[in-house]
Each structure stands twice: as structure tokens, then as C-alpha cells.
Amino acid sequence: MSETKPIVLKIGGSVITDKDGELAARTAVINRLSEEIQKARVENLIIVHGGGSFGHPTAKKYGIKEGLREESQKLGFAETHHVMTVLNGLVMDSLVWHNIPAISVAPSCCVVTENGRIKCFNDAILKSYLRMGFAPVLYGDAVLDEKLGFTVLSGDQLVAHLAMKLAASRIVIGVDTDGLYDADPKLSKNAQLYTNLTLAELKKIQDKLDKSTASDVTGGMLGKVSELIPAVEQGIPVTIVNAAKANRVYKALMREAVEGTIIEKE
Ligand code: IPE
């Protein structure tokens, strides 16, 4: 049984899916990331992946995040969860065939939120898997909510929650840009990459971040960063890297120098 503190790795939906397509998985990217994860041999790893062109369009179509208002949305809730399990299946397929003892843990079956915030996380089984050396894999999902009936839980909220609850040593966030910029690098040529940020600096720039990137149902880059603040406050450093580029996730997992943004308490 392992005593090392876990690392929580999030792989964004825009990395493993084509957000312009419909249910469009990037299987070559998923396989490359599995290779990197396998090569890094992290002893205590929790993986969380996003929804991309699987979860987001379906959740949006049925207004799942806003909660239960009419019966017809129930099918939408089921469909949102289902498409996430389809994407998760592709990720699991790749991880397991790369010899990673990965176990899928569905948030819809162990998390309840209240107004969109995690209220209860039944993590006993997840912890047992982790202690035995398995790599639990979770994902952004449609979940039950005590006030709203149901809602969408982002992978980022899950990452911060898990990292804090399990006293993780680090969080690695794999996105489709080189890290955190002062503007959207896809829209602005002069966008500057932040390489190292303290919590105080992060809070200052938070307002400046381009809200136009926050179009997803769960909040884009702005939502991502806000979700991570409580974990950083607890002393858990966050490394944001470009998971669409080879070896960035591997280097981040190995604590090697890597292009990206490191956020630390101070
Ligand atoms: C979204 O999860 C899950 C659903 C919409 C059901 P995330 O918010 O973590 O996904 P990405 O990384 O932004 O695609």
C-alpha cells in the first residue's frame, strides 16, 4: 500500500475532443497522453477528464446546469451522463491498454451538489482503490443537486475538491493552450503567458482574464482558475500545461522543467 501523497491530473475536454465537432474524440491524443502517463509511473495518481464535444453540447441543449424544471429534461440528464460515459470509455480503453490500472469512478454515483457546489462526496471506495495502487478516473458529469434537482459538475471543481480532501501533493491541469495568459491567446496575438504566479498575483489578474473564453457550460479558463484557488490556498501547487503538445504532461508529472504556468501559495 502506498503512502505517497496523490497527484491529481485534469485533462481538459478541448484536448481530448474536437470542440467544433459532435461527439468527436481525439483518440490519437488520448493514446499519446496514456503513453505519457504510463511512462511517468506516478505511484498515486487520480485522473479527471472534461467533457468537450461530448458533455457540453448535450448539457447545454437540455439546460442541465440550470437544474430540473420540466420532465423532458430527465432524458437530457441521462443523455449527458451517457455521452460522458462514452468519452470516459474511450479514455479507459486507452489507459488500460497502456497497462495503467485505471478504474472509472462515475461522479453521478458518488457526488451530490447543492446549488452546483459539491456537498457530499462518497469517496470511501475511491480511497480504497487509491490505497491499493489503482488510478481512479473521474470526469465532469451530470449529478444530482439538493436544491436544483440536478446540475452539471465540472471536472475542475472535482479536481480541487479531490486534491484538498486527499491532501494531494500537486495538481496538474492539461489544457489546449501553453498555460494561463493575460488574454485569450487564440484571439489576441499579444497575449502574455504567466509562468509563475503566487496566489496574491493570481487573485489580482483574475478580473483581467478574458471572460469571452468562458463560453462552456462550466466556465472556460476563468472558471478553471477560480475553482483551483481554494486548493492553492491549502498549499497545493498547480501546474497548467499544454496537454495538446507532446511530453508537457509527462514533464509536469515528473516535476521536470516545462513550459506552462505554476501557481503557488506564495
Ligand atoms: C464538463 O466537464 C462535463 C459536462 C458538460 C457534463 P468539464 O467542464 O470539466 O469539461 P471541459 O474540460 O471544460 O471540456
* Residue to probe by mutation, ligand 1, list 14, 30, 73, 218, most atoms within 8 Å of CB: 218
CA distance 75 to 59: 11
Separation of first and last alpha carbons in the chain:
33
Query: Which grid cell is 243?
Result: 496537454
* Residue to probe by mutation, ligand 1, list 84, 144, 216, most atoms within 8 Å of CB: 216
What pTM did the predictor assign?
0.94
pLDDT for res 247: 98
pLDDT for res 161: 98
Residue ranges per domain, the chain? Answer: 7-264
pLDDT for res 3: 61
| Ligand 1 pocket, residues with Cβ under 6 angstroms | 12-14, 50-52, 55-56, 59, 80, 84, 140-142, 152, 154-156, 216-218
Phi then psi for 62, rounded to 5 degrees?
A: -105, 5
Atom of ligand 1 nearest to the CA of 81: 6
CA distance 228 to 157: 8
Query: Which grid cell is 127?
Result: 480511497
127 Cα: distance to centroid of ligand 1 (angstroms): 23
Superfamily of domain 7-264: Acetylglutamate kinase-like (3.40.1160.10)
3 Cα: distance to centroid of ligand 1 (angstroms): 30
Query: Which grid cell is 10?
Result: 485534469
* Residue to probe by mutation, ligand 1, list 154, 159, 227, most atoms within 8 Å of CB: 154
Q: What is the CA radius of gyration of the chain?
A: 17
69-119 pLDDT, tens digit each: 999 999 999 999 999 999 999 999 999 999 999 999 999 999 999 999 999
97-110 pLDDT, tens digit each: 999 999 999 999 99
125-158 pLDDT, tens digit each: 999 999 999 999 999 999 999 999 999 999 999 9
